[in-house]
Amino acid sequence: MKDVSVYIAALVEYAVERGLIEEADRVWARNQLLAALALDGYTEPEKAAGDLPLEEILGQLLDDAAARGVIGDDITSRDLLDTKLMGILTPRPGEVIREFQARCAQSKQAATDWYYRFSQDTDYIRRYRIARDVKWVTPTEYGDLDITINLSKPEKDPRAIAAAKSAPQSGYPKCQLCRENEGYAGRMNHPARGNHRVIPVTIDGRDWFLQYSPYVYYNEHCIVFNGEHTPMKIDRSAFRKLLDFVKQFPHYFVGSNADLPIVGGSILSHDHFQGGRYTFAMEKAPVEREVSFPGFADIEAGIVHWPLSVLRLRCGDDNRLVDLAEKILTAWRSYTDEAAFVYAETDGEPHNTITPIARMRDGKYELDLVLRNNITTPEHPMGVYHPHAELHHIKKENIGLIEVMGLAVLPARLKGELSRLGEVLVSGGDPAADEVLAKHAPWAAELRQRHTFTADNVEEILQDEVGKVFAQVLEHAGVFKCDEQGREAFLRFVAAVK
């Protein structure tokens, strides 16, 4: 291993080249890095390390720290330290906000372009981990669905899990979305955010903040979050905030997870939206049937050709959209249609809510309202409008905003499982005999009836079939199905909006 000074020098050089620090900051930055690494000496390298990728520079410094016992050699301990190192080199929040606002004077897109690049240069978005994600596109009757096996979110090893359990519990920050995460050093049971910087935005007269997701499931995947730790709530104000955001950032879409368990996202305790610069299959999906609502002749409305139940509203006046969206939400909250197995509540528990998505299109505001219902039954204990048990071998997690729009975020386990399953299918083996693959056995048997597998085609076939399973997942999540009976039920609800 090269002398650690080489990598400290390389990290300082990286920060200067990326504009994170100035030339005059070199010595200061070096000394701050030495302190964080528990080193008290430095030798100027005779030869530079060369143009090393950031991952390698940080990896060498972490290896050295682990070898000296400064940190444990587990992923969580390593992430805590490398974030601390990058936090030293990250400009303070005030500087970042001033730079963002200065670029806004040029254009909002110029500002977000800079902020997105900055969030990668600081290693808050770890480019090298995102690159590991497995991605492909599957054509379906609903359009091209995006499929991702998420490998960028590190899985904790047993040592890290044990350390997290024994770590003192803290209520600060209250959750991973709170503003108080900005600059937080982290601990074994809470991620470090020393290199995290957020941008203040005002929507509906309230203080909110903009950041990017560190896991970037799609291009410029951003999170817009309430400055206060307050629960998710879909109401008139939510529609107003979504449209306010796209008014300020018309090159981005923004949407909200639903506010009920099962059909909501993974964090319901903190009000937030997700957005970005990406065109999902749902946005491309056409309106299959135009509808109208009394008193709103100025609003274009229709049922979208999509496996979930989507009403699309378009208008040049955002206030009119908010009025109609509120009327539709109010009607849906209390709507029951036993023939369609839609119940507003059972035993006092509410079931109906909406997943809303806002965007600008051709100079008009557009709002997609996805009707959701979280009722459960003994046959479907995880939800009637949730992936059913026969699909859990591929996807059993909640169908949140990102999946609703047509992007499957599949668990990391599938990378290895699909590879092993492919080998078994090619060799003629029995997946049921493999403890890990047994859950895929019924699916594999069905695939064998339709395909002849070879080493050359097995990966492509499996990816395509996984995409088709995801299409079924979305169909299961749809309250009103894409058949004649389902569309008749959908129109009954439209008629009930008064």
Query: Is-cis flag, bond preceding 93, omega within 30?
Result: no
Give the amino acid at 10.
A
Beta strands per DSSP E along 256-308? 272-276, 287-291, 300-304
Q: What is the per-residue pLDDT for 160? A: 53
Yes or no: say if 270 and 229 are a contact pair by the CB < 8 Å rule: yes
Counted residue by residue, the chain has a size of 498
Q: What is the per-residue pLDDT for 47? A: 84
Q: How confident is the model at residue 155 (pLDDT cuts 50, 70, 90)?
A: low
Q: How confident is the model at residue 153 (pLDDT cuts 50, 70, 90)?
A: confident
More confident: 150 or 327 = 327
Mean of the per-residue pLDDT values for the chain?
A: 95
Tell me if residue 169 falls in helix, strand or coil: coil
Q: 70: which residues sit within 8 A by CB, 6+ positions away? A: 37, 38, 81
Yes or no: say if 167 and 178 are a contact pair by the CB < 8 Å rule: no
**Separation between Cα atoms, residue 218 and residue 485, nearest integer Å:** 35
pLDDT above 50: residue 1: no
**Separation between Cα atoms, residue 448 and residue 469, nearest integer Å:** 16
pLDDT above 80: residue 291: yes
Cα 137 versus chain centre, distance: 17
Q: What is the per-residue pLDDT for 152? A: 83
Name the one residue in this structure whose structure tokens are 């059993």. Answer: 396
Burial of 251 (0-12, 13-18, 19+ CB in 10 A): middle
**Separation between Cα atoms, residue 498 and residue 485, nearest integer Å:** 23
**Separation between Cα atoms, residue 331 and residue 344, nearest integer Å:** 10
Give the amino acid at 385.
Y
Give the amino acid at 289.
R
Q: Between vectors from CA 18 to CA 12 and to CA 21, what angle results, nearest 5°?
A: 55
Tokens representing residue 88 in the block = 């030293």
Q: What is the per-residue pLDDT for 51? A: 86
Q: Among 83-97, 168-182, 446-460, whose mean pLDDT is lowest?
A: 168-182
Question: Which strand (E) or helix (H) includes residue 241?
Answer: helix 236-248
Percent of the chain beyond pLDDT 90?
A: 93
Q: If we measure between CA atoms, which residue out of 419, 399, 421, 379 comes closest to residue 470? A: 399
Q: Which residues pair with 136 in a beta bridge?
A: 147
Tell me if residue 359 falls in helix, strand or coil: strand
Query: What's the sign of the alpha-carbon dihedral 401, 402, 406, 408?
Result: negative
**Torsion-angle region of residue 209: left (phi > 0), alpha (psi -120 to 50) or beta?**
beta
Name the one residue in this structure whose structure tokens are 């030798």. Answer: 43
Q: What is the pLDDT of residues 472-493, one digit of tens each?
A: 999 999 999 999 999 999 999 9
Q: What is the pLDDT of residues 365-414, one digit of tens each?
A: 999 999 999 999 999 999 999 999 999 999 999 999 999 999 999 999 99
Edge to edge, the sheet with strand 309-315 lists 199-203, 206-212, 222-226, 272-276, 253-255, 352-361, 364-373, 309-315, 300-304, 287-291
**Separation between Cα atoms, residue 247 and residue 201, nearest integer Å:** 12
